[in-house]
A and B are shown apart, each in its own frame.
Chain A
Amino acid sequence: MNQNEFVLMVAPFKDKVFRLAKRLLVSTEEAEDATQEVLVRLWSKNTALAGYSSIEAFAMTMTKNYCLDQLKSKRSGNLKIVHSNYTDSAPTLDKKLEDCDSLNWVERSISLLPEQQRIIIQLRDIEQYEFEEIAKMLDMTESAIRVALSRARKTIREYMTKTHNYGII
């Protein structure tokens, strides 16, 4: 497989990889790094790729694992002077402006979910994969995914209701 073929093959799902990485890692730069890393790893597997039934599912699994590894290593390195996705607790002007935007409330409520549920929401509600595909990517049973998804959606609904009624989380 030469490079052009690889680029063509990767084109339909590289955005999905990026969005999943961003959902998990929060910062755009880190998500970009993760995407590149996943693409490079795919490229290095080049010849072995033919053996996989769905390269897209394989890439998504790879992304999930890579991002979770990244998060784990970040957590273990507790004392770090430079950490890339910290949040400023004091509300800045643009933060206040953003808070008015209810789309952002959704983003925030999703980011409060546990990682597993975040991945499932991302894959199902945003990328609209079938349960069967998600099950393959995450190595879970479909019913387990349905349960986690329902839980995640209900949690988000709770946040949304609170925000809608009182304007706070």
Chain B
Amino acid sequence: MELYKVETVLERYFEGETSIAEERELQDYFATQQVAPHLEKYAALFNHFAVAKEQQFEQEMPLFEIQKEESGIKKRNLGWLSIAASVVVLMGIGTYVFYHSEPVNNSKDLGTYDDPEVAFKETQKALSLLSKNVNVGIESVKYVEEYQIAKNKVFRKTKNKSRGI
């Protein structure tokens, strides 16, 4: 590029009016060794732009991207698993209750005897068992009766005393 052209383009460059192509031409011009002495100070500027463009992002792409994707799938699976598990547990409880409560509801026969004699004996046995047990209970209740008697004596005395005064 001719010197006078460079100067005019440079002038427009600083006014912000140049196109990308013109700026490339300027860069190319300053990249060569034959730069006019009074323009030398701009050489560093344009060379710097070229150098700065070479910088690269050297790090690896963030690896957790993959992990993120995987963990997303895992999470979804876990969610379905917990739902499935709770359904299975509910079904288990449901069927257990369903099958094991039915016989209890249906057992309306209480073990009757067909022979009246045997039935009579069994009834006697049952009643004697009941009365024995009731007597055991009553024996202990007799102590309580003593308390009742004692209490009545005491309260009668206090009543008499209060009347006496």
B24 at the interface (CB under 8 A from A): yes
- Provide the bound-state CA to CA distance between A169 and B5, in Å: 30
A150 near B16: Cβ-Cβ < 8 Å: yes
List, in ascending order, chain A residues with CB within 8 A of B44's CB. 102-103, 105-106, 160
- Which of these binds chain A: B45-53, B101-109, B144-152? B45-53
Tell me if B56 and A3 are in contact (CB < 8 A). Answer: no
A32:B59 contact, CB within 8 angstroms: yes
**Which residues of A30-78 are within 8 A (CB) of B?**
32, 35-36, 39-40, 43
Quick check: is A7 within 8 A (CB to CB) of the other chain? yes
Q: How far is the CA of A39 from the CA of B57 in the complex (A)?
A: 12
A107 close to B (CB within 8 Å): yes
**B32 within 8 A of partner (CB):** no
A95 within 8 A of B: no
Which B residues touch A22, using CB under 8 A? 55
Partner of B41, one of A6, A14, A19, A164: A164
Residues of A within 8 A of B17 (CB): 146, 150
Binary interface encoding of chain B residues 52-68 relative to chain A, with 1 for a CB under 8 A from any of its CBs, else 0: 11011101011011101
Q: Does residue A15 face the partner (Cβ distance < 8 Å to B)?
A: yes
Whether A153 pairs with B16 at a CB distance below 8 angstroms is yes
Whether, in the assembled complex, A98 has its beta carbon less than 8 Å from a beta carbon of chain B, the answer is no
Chain A: minimal CB distance from B33 (Å): 16
With the chains together, A110 CA to B128 CA distance in Å? 112
Q: Which residues of A contact B68 (CB under 8 A)?
A: 43
Q: Which residues of B contact A163 (CB under 8 A)?
A: 41
- B57 close to A15 (CB less than 8 A): yes
B contact residues, total (Cβ < 8 Å): 30
In the complex, which of the residues B48, B49, B65, B69 contacts A40, with contact meaning CB atoms closer than 8 Å? B65
Tell me whether B41 and A160 are in contact (CB under 8 A): yes
A5–B43 alpha-carbon span in the complex (Å): 40
Chain A hits for B66, CB < 8 A: 3
Complex interface: chain B residues within 8 A of A150 (CB):
14-17
User: B41 touching A18 by the CB < 8 A rule?
Assistant: no
Interface membership of B13, Cβ < 8 A: yes
Q: Is the CB of B49 within 8 A of A125?
A: yes
Residues on B facing A (Cβ under 8 Å): 13-17, 20, 23-24, 40-42, 44-45, 47-49, 51-53, 55-57, 59, 61-62, 64-66, 68-69
Starting from the known contacts A153-B14, A154-B14, 4 additional A-B residue pairs (CB-CB under 8 Å) come to A6-B65, A18-B56, A40-B64, A106-B48
**Cβ-closest 10 pairs across A and B:** A150-B16, A18-B57, A164-B41, A106-B48, A102-B44, A149-B16, A146-B16, A36-B62, A15-B56, A103-B48
- Could you list 21 examples of A-B contacts with CB < 8 Å? A3-B66, A3-B69, A7-B61, A14-B61, A15-B55, A18-B56, A32-B59, A39-B65, A103-B48, A103-B51, A106-B44, A125-B49, A126-B52, A126-B53, A145-B16, A147-B16, A149-B16, A150-B14, A150-B15, A150-B17, A164-B40
